[in-house]
Structure 1
Amino acid sequence: MVTGGHQVIVVDAANVVGSRPDGWWRDRPGAARRLLRQLTALQERLEDTEIVVILEGAARSATSGPDAPDTAALRIVLAPGSGDDTIVTTTAAITNGHVTVVTADRGLRERLEPTGATITGPRWLLDQLEQS
């Protein structure tokens, strides 16, 4: 669990969803909705932590429609193009706290190094979600 001081967790939603072979590829918006619900539950139990979720491609539609979860507790960023580009610019723009980015993408990890963010893989986040 994240503790001490203001924390920001930036979630590469596509990478986290893709880390579990649960059939997500058949319904990308549905898989993103499930992740958003889990992240909302996690957000409710974390103090002094903000969760920022980057959604790209078909997963962007997870925040609209009758099945859309209540994501008011999260900060959702809809990538207009490349999710990786959006993750880098969003992370670089955060100046008010310690940033942890959740991704297993090696190329993205390299691009994030100059931001000073801590980078961790999806397993860390999935463990947090399982505790929720």
Structure 2
Amino acid sequence: MSHTLVVDAANVVGARPDGWWKDRAGAARRLHEGLVTADLPHDRIVLVLEGAAKGGPRPGRDGHVQTVHAPGAGDDTIVAQARRAVEAGDRVTVVTADRLLRGRVEAVGARTAGPQWLLDEIDGG
């Protein structure tokens, strides 16, 4: 069974008060780079970007990281990505602190983890 990690980029970036609000695209690029270089135990990582963060990494695959630009609400895209992976038979974890989003992805069969867990993993755990 494959393990897919779906990342709510806005929520993860917002968990670290490092000035991300001054450069959302740059913050998204840093998160993307961290995901590409981190040794995470997931077969596939889906990074969902919305709004100004879409000025960062382009959509597409970079190794085991797939960047997806949400056409509308990021939460809807995250739920769709989680649902698609669950339906494909993957074990799915969605990284977000958003309680409403957690409920939505758990309803489609995904697990959840908080942003700090992911940031700790990227930083070397």
Do the two structures share a fold, i.e. TM-score over 0.5?
yes
Question: Which residue number in structure 2 is paired with residue 110 of structure 1?
Answer: 103
Contact kept in structure 2, 1:40 and 1:71, CA below 8 Å: no
Cα distance in 2 between the residues matched to 1:125 and 1:9: 10
Q: 1:121 aligns with which of 97, 108, 114?
A: 114
* Structure 2 unaligned residues grouped into runs of 5+: none
Q: Normalising to structure 1: TM-score of the pair?
A: 0.85
* Structure 1 unaligned residues grouped into runs of 5+: 65-69
Q: 2:83 aligns with which of 89, 92, 96?
A: 92
| Higher Cα radius of gyration | 1
Q: Residue 25 of structure 1 aligns to which amino acid in structure 2?
A: W
Cα distance in 2 between the residues matched to 1:30 and 1:71: 18
RMSD of aligned Cα (Å) = 1.8
> Percent of aligned positions with the same letter in both sequences?
52
Q: Normalising to structure 2: TM-score of the pair?
A: 0.89
Contact kept in structure 1, 2:5 and 2:42, CA below 8 Å: no
Q: After TM superposition, which residue ranges in structure 1, 4 or more long, deviate above 6 angstroms? A: none
Q: 1:76 aligns with which of 58, 67, 72?
A: 67
Are the structure 2 counterparts of residues 47 and 114 from structure 1 closer, same or farther at C-alpha, using a change threshold of 3 Å?
A: closer
